[in-house]
Amino acid sequence: MYDIVVVGGGVIGGMILRELTRYRLNVCLVEKENDVCMGQSKANSGIVHAGFDAQVGTLKAKFNVLGNRMMPKVAKELGVKYVNNGSLVVAFSDEEVKTLEQLKQRGEQNGVEGLEIIDRQKLAQIEPNISGKAVGALLAKSGGIICPYELTIAAIGNAMDNGAHLETNFEVVKIEGEYPEYLLFAADGRQITAKAVVNCAGINSQKIANLVGDEYFTVGGRRGEYMLLDRESGDLVNHTLFFTPTKLGKGILVSKTVDGNVILGPTAEDVDFNDTSTTSQGLNSVAEKAKAMCDNVPFYNVITSFSGVRAYCDRHDFIIEQSPQKRGFFHVAGIESPGLTSAPAIAEYVVNELIGGLFELKPNQNFNPNREPDYFFKNLTAEEKNKLIKSNPAYGKIVCRCEQITEGEIIRALTVNPKATDVDGVKRRTRAGMGRCQGGFCQPYVAEIIAKELGVCLCDVTKSGGESKLLTGESK
Amino acid sequence: MKEFDVLIIGGGPAGLAAAISAYDNGAKSVCIMERDNRLGGILNQCIHNGFGLTRFKESLAGPEYADRFVKQVETRNITVMLDTTVLSLSGEKTVTAISPDRGYFEVKAKAVVLAMGCRERSRGALNIAGARCAGIYSAGTAQKYVNVKGFMPGKRIVILGSGDIGLIMARRMTLEGAKVVAVCEIMPYSSGLRRNIVQCLDDFGIPLYLEHTITKIEGKDRVTGVVVSKVDENRRPIAGTELHFDCDTVLFSVGLIPENELTKNAEIPLAKNTRGAIVYQNRETLCSGVFACGNVLQVHDLVDFVSEESELAGRCAAEYAIKGISAKGGVNVVNGKNVTYVLPQKLDLDLQSNGLIKLYFRVSGAFRNCVIALSCGDKVIVQKQKKIAVPGEMETLVIPKDKLSLIDGDLTLTLEA
């Protein structure tokens, strides 16, 4: 029996899992998909927000500001890229400049440091491609960017290196018992028992709550569509650019990513279920808004478009609490934006304040907070590269030419925690297939390496688990 | 650091022909770097025939065509480095490469020939809405699975784009027992060769939907269908014209992009319309001693022309390495009315060259009974009549030697319908 089982392998579940392994606890994470990080944590903007957006006194405000401060260290430990590029809320009218003043005030009340309102001239200086219609901006120096799936995968991998277990394809459909013995049933009949449960199921967190009779909050899905530009256009912007929030909504953002691409999006559209398909209206709207923000947006350099469905909650704040009627059952639900930024702070709070109220937190002497990055070869020196190729020639074979990812890194992604088992899993860990040709060249090679390492037929390799086999059989 | 007279990046049809030609024209040390584990490039997966009709007057399969060149490379003292990816090229012609055997290493060359070929434009570049599930491939990736790996990427196929690879794959998938339910083309004409439309679609009763595009891909784990719409003259989908096709696979054959990342990083100027390097008639780029040929320079219709162009580049690279013959200055050749690009973009009229100057170009639409003219200011240098000109078929125009003296400024190539 586990001490604690975490339901949901997104950034919240992942960071909580890692935090739990700092202590001598027997922990497990269950994820309904074939891989971790398959929900909103894999398809969001990747922004480390400064913390001026959330209403004063909310959990969002508290954890955002804390998480923002924690992120550089967490990223460093986990071998994840983090860039403190700063963010700008851009105003297009005097009316909007007034809103910036309010945002600045709110941010300062929330404890955000380094907020400054800048004029058109300075804005144009630091963002040469900003629209001629922009009149000023709120500069938040503590704003940053991170890769959300890199962070999530690294957190779960690090937790596993420190003793945590992972069960994938474990869709929780029934929960019985109570503290200190919960019994979780998977759709395929597997069972897990644990003394306590943490519900981090993202868009499905209401479903999980309902399984133990908690029906006091509602979680819905909101779809956001994005476009991604080639690294060649990576210098379109330096900061993360937001529109000034108006009664009509927040608009989209235009930002560099830690890998040097530019991300445009997201739209916001309520959807009934987890429909992550893109729409032509959505993509057109992203393009229109990006054009309003920046001049010279190089749409010819779009390499892909995608969408994610993010959870939103009728409480309009994070739900981080013990079930009112089920001891040892914790809900970490409705974690909408700024959830990614808040994740490290939420994890620390959940473990210290909530789990700590139930379990004695004895430090795990063997806890190692550090993890090696999943791809790294191209950043090594010539000498280091040669040393590595000598010991393992697979590092001398480039498989993904767009991102310069080696066979060695791909094999590694299939063998280190949490092990990739499908093409998208390899892609999220190594970036093989994320470049300008979008896997057109390397996919057959990646699939072959997967087949070989997993000891399966090439025709059984999937894109992302389930029924997503790449091939339908042998040719004649 | 090892030094070669001529270093060729890429061992596909362009690299092979360039290497042989460089060697035969006196280069003492020639090296081909190829990232795959064999020479031949994309020809290795093109098992259909039709290659070599112009050059060898016979119809060969892709691997057979490649083999004729590989055999010639083998009988010469040409260094071949397989499994070797070139990571960077400097203006001083130092190349950084990597391979499992040699590790991460540098070599220097007197002349470099860029022969990296091209890549397929992906679905992502088109912003086509819908799912991102299994069953969505570029035509070339599907071709690799079927012809090289021996596996089928699907059973019921819709193809977007009627370029040659799309047409070839429509036939290939049909012969392998799959059902190709539709080939959609956003333009009012196919960009593929006429012979391929007849032999790959018409002969198998596969419908071609001109002025149609895919507006939505459906599916969760795997593609289950597509929505196809007719487009207006601005290529925008017309509401109410939606057709639905059930399918498990979508193949994209929506254009080829010269693979010029190395060229860009070496800061060698590219032409916007070809997305390849700007070159002189000897295929020398604006970086002295660096040459380019084949699909990395301009996307050809026929491999026969790739070989021809690459022999020119290989010879001129050898002349540069041995005698220091290099193009400079000169006049520009500009694409005018109804012409989308012309190559070479520059002519050095003082260059010692023993070949005729041949211009390659593409036209912007389908034209009948037209006149193609190369002019210099008000002077017409050369002109010729064409019965039919279409964007899918590359055109050429030779400038006779006796006309060269008439050129005293930039040239413009136009098509009058």
pLDDT in tens, A291-344: 999 999 999 999 999 999 999 899 999 999 999 999 999 999 999 999 999 999
Report the C-alpha gap between B250 and B253 in whole angstroms: 10
Find chain B residues with C-beta within 8 A of A448's C-beta.
149
Kindly state the greatest CA–CA separation across chain A.
69
pLDDT band at residue B353 under the 50/70/90 scheme: low
Q: Could you tell me if B111 and B289 are in contact, meaning their C-beta atoms sit under 8 angstroms apart?
A: yes
Across the A/B interface, how many CB contacts are shorter than 8 Å?
146
Q: Are residues B114 and B54 in the same domain?
A: yes
pLDDT mean across residues, chain B = 96
Q: What is the pLDDT of residues B73-98, one digit of tens each?
A: 999 999 999 999 999 999 899 999 99
Q: What is the pLDDT of residues A408-422, one digit of tens each?
A: 999 999 999 999 999
Residue A49 falls in the annotated catalytic set: yes
Select from 1.10.10, 3.90.640, 3.40.50, 1.10.3470 the CATH code of A377-460: 1.10.10
SS3 of residue B312 by DSSP: helix
**Interface touch A458/B222, C-beta < 8 Å:** no
Question: Pick from B289, B304, B327: which residue ends a domain?
Answer: B327
- The CA distance from B61 to the nearest CA of chain A, in Å, is 18
Find chain B residues with C-beta within 8 A of A232's C-beta.
264
Residue % of chain B over a pLDDT of 90: 92
Task: Give chain B's radius of gyration (CA, Å).
Answer: 22
Q: What is the pLDDT of residues A35-92, one digit of tens each?
A: 999 999 999 999 999 999 999 999 999 999 999 999 999 999 999 999 999 999 999 9
- Which CATH number does the domain housing residue B398 bear? 2.60.40
Mean pLDDT confidence for A97-114: 97
Q: Could you tell me if B100 and A389 are in contact, meaning their C-beta atoms sit under 8 angstroms apart?
A: yes
Spatial CB neighbours of B135, under 8 Å, sequence gap ≥ 6: B153, B154, B219, B222, B223, B248, B249, B250
**Interface touch B122/A382, C-beta < 8 Å:** no
Domain with CATH 3.50.50.60 in chain A: 2-41+149-219+315-357
Report the C-alpha gap between B360 and B374 in whole angstroms: 12
Q: Are residues B26 and B102 in the same domain?
A: yes
Q: Which of B123, B132, B134 sits opposite A469 (nearest CB)?
A: B134
Residue B354 has pLDDT above 70, yes or no: no
- The CA distance from B35 to the nearest CA of chain A, in Å, is 8
Q: Which of A228, A397, A472 sits opposite B153 (nearest CB)?
A: A472
**Interface touch A396/B83, C-beta < 8 Å:** yes
SS3 of residue B168 by DSSP: helix
Any idea which fold A83-144+220-309 has? D-Amino Acid Oxidase; Chain A, domain 2 (3.30.9)
Q: Judge if pTM exceeds 0.90.
A: yes
Q: Are residues B9 and B102 in the same domain?
A: yes
Question: Pick from B327, B352, B368: which residue ends a domain?
Answer: B327
For chain B, the domain total comes to 3
Residue B310, domain extent: 1-120+256-327
**Interface touch B151/A386, C-beta < 8 Å:** no
A431: left (phi over 0), alpha (psi -120 to 50) or beta: left
Q: Could you tell me if B69 and B75 are in contact, meaning their C-beta atoms sit under 8 angstroms apart?
A: no
Report the C-alpha gap between B148 and A458 in whole angstroms: 13
Spatial CB neighbours of B263, under 8 Å, sequence gap ≥ 6: B89, B114, B270, B276, B277, B285, B292, B296
Which segments of A113-271 does DSSP mark as H helices, in order? Answer: 120-126, 148-161, 205-211
Q: What is the pLDDT of residues B372-397, one digit of tens each?
A: 999 999 999 999 999 999 988 899 99
Q: Which of A386, A397, A468 sits opposite B133 (nearest CB)?
A: A468
Q: What is the pLDDT of residue A248?
A: 67
Spatial CB neighbours of A244, under 8 Å, sequence gap ≥ 6: A89, A90, A91, A92, A96, A99, A100, A103, A251
What token pair was written down for B363?
């036209």
Name the active-site residue from A49, A239, A316, A331. A49
Domain with CATH 1.10.10 in chain A: 377-460
Q: What is the pLDDT of residues B355-377, one digit of tens each?
A: 789 999 999 999 999 999 999 99
Find chain B residues with C-beta within 8 A of A439's C-beta.
122, 141
Select from 3.40.50.300, 3.30.70.3270, 3.50.50.60, 3.30.390.10 the CATH code of A2-41+149-219+315-357: 3.50.50.60
- The CA distance from A34 to the nearest CA of chain B, in Å, is 12
Q: What is the pLDDT of residue B192?
A: 86
Q: What is the pLDDT of residue A476?
A: 86
Task: Report DSSP letters for A69-121, one per residue.
Answer: HHHHHHHHHHT--EE---EEEEESSHHHHHHHHHHHHHHHHHT---EEEEEHH
Find chain B residues with C-beta within 8 A of A401's C-beta.
35, 85
Q: Are residues B130 and B247 in the same domain?
A: yes
- Which CATH number does the domain housing residue B214 bear? 3.50.50.60
- The CA distance from A116 to the nearest CA of chain B, in Å, is 37
Q: Which of A390, A440, A464 sits opposite B120 (nearest CB)?
A: A440
Q: Residues of B294-333 as b/e, b for ≥16 C-beta within 10 angstroms?
A: bbbbbbbbbbbbbbbbbbbbbbbbbbbbbeebbbeebeeb
Pairing of strands A219-229, A262-265: antiparallel
Pairing of strands B30-33, B78-81: parallel
